[in-house]
Structures are given as C-alpha cells and as structure tokens.
Amino acid sequence: MSNFSKKFEHVANKFTQWSGSSWAFGIAFGLIIGWAISGPVFGFSDTWQLVINTGTTIVTFLMVFLIQKTQNKDSKAIHLKLNELVAASYKASNRLVDVEDLTEEELDTLHKYYQLIADRAETEKDIHKSHSIEAAERLHKYKASKEATDPSESTS
C-alpha cells in the first residue's frame, strides 16, 4: 500500500468516525437552523434556496462514497471472520468459505439446501431434539478430542 493510500485511508476512517458522531449531527442541524433563520434576511430568494440545495447535494454525493467504502470494509471483515469460523469448525462444510464469491444460481442452490434443513427443524415439536444440551456437550467433547490430536493446532 502506497504512502498516499495509507494517508487517505487514515483520513477517510477519521472522517467516517466523525461524521457518525453527535457533534457532526449537531453541526449539520445548526447549519440548517441558521439557514432557515436567515431566510427572511435574504427574502427567501432563489439564491438562498440554491445555497442549501447545492451544499446538501455535495455533502450527500461525498457521503455516498464514504458510506460505501465503510460498508465494503465492514463486509470484508465480517466475511473473513465467518470464513475463519467455518474453516475452524470440524463439522462445517468448507464449501462455505468465500461463499460470497459464488454465482447467484449457486447461492440459490445452497439457500434451498439450508431452507430444507430449517423446514425439517420446524416440524420438530420438541426443541430439545435439535438443540439439546446433551448434543452440545457431545459436540464439545468431540472437538476437544480432535484438538488434542490435530497437528494443525500445535503451538510450537
């Protein structure tokens, strides 16, 4: 990452944090109140209206890109965390790692599979059949025994 990119990232992150703060809202609210109060002074002219329209359009235009950047970063971080959980789970399918890169048709196929599982779970009258403490304990013991023998878990 270039020095410019690092600085831009830093500034964008700081501005994102600030723009979501109470101070930013207060300043924006104050500007709107100030503009509204100044209406009689300027006779509610077209120029007076153009000032607020232009200002809010520019701010909105810039904020769209800032929000998208933030959402892209958050989305990537969440996907990486979920990928780590899937990869670390002995019973989870590794096919779900990077599932966000699948086509819409492939995602629909996976959705149908999990919807079928959910539908079958809904038919159970007793929640303990699909969510029992005993099953959780068995899974914990299974994973603990695997960790003791799994060479990828070595700490050396």
Question: Which of 53, 70, 92 is the endpoint of a domain?
Answer: 92
pTM: 0.60
Q: Are residues 82 and 124 in the same domain?
A: no
- 105: containing domain: 96-156
Q: Using one digit for the tens of pLDDT, what is the confidence trace for 15-64? A: 999 999 999 999 999 999 999 999 999 999 999 999 999 999 999 999 99
Query: Does one domain contain both 5 and 41?
Result: yes
Task: Count up the domains in the chain and report the number.
Answer: 2
Tokens for 15? 């501005």
Q: Domain check: are 9 and 71 in the same one? A: yes
Neighbours of 149 (CB within 10 A): 7
DSSP class of residue 6 equals H
CA distance 146 to 154: 12
Residue at which a domain ends, from 92, 109, 128: 92
What are 103-152's pLDDT values in tens digits? 999 999 988 888 887 887 777 766 666 666 677 777 778 877 876 665 55
| Closest among 100, 96, 82, 31 to 59, alpha carbons compared | 31
Give the residue from 39, 62, 92 where a domain finishes.
92
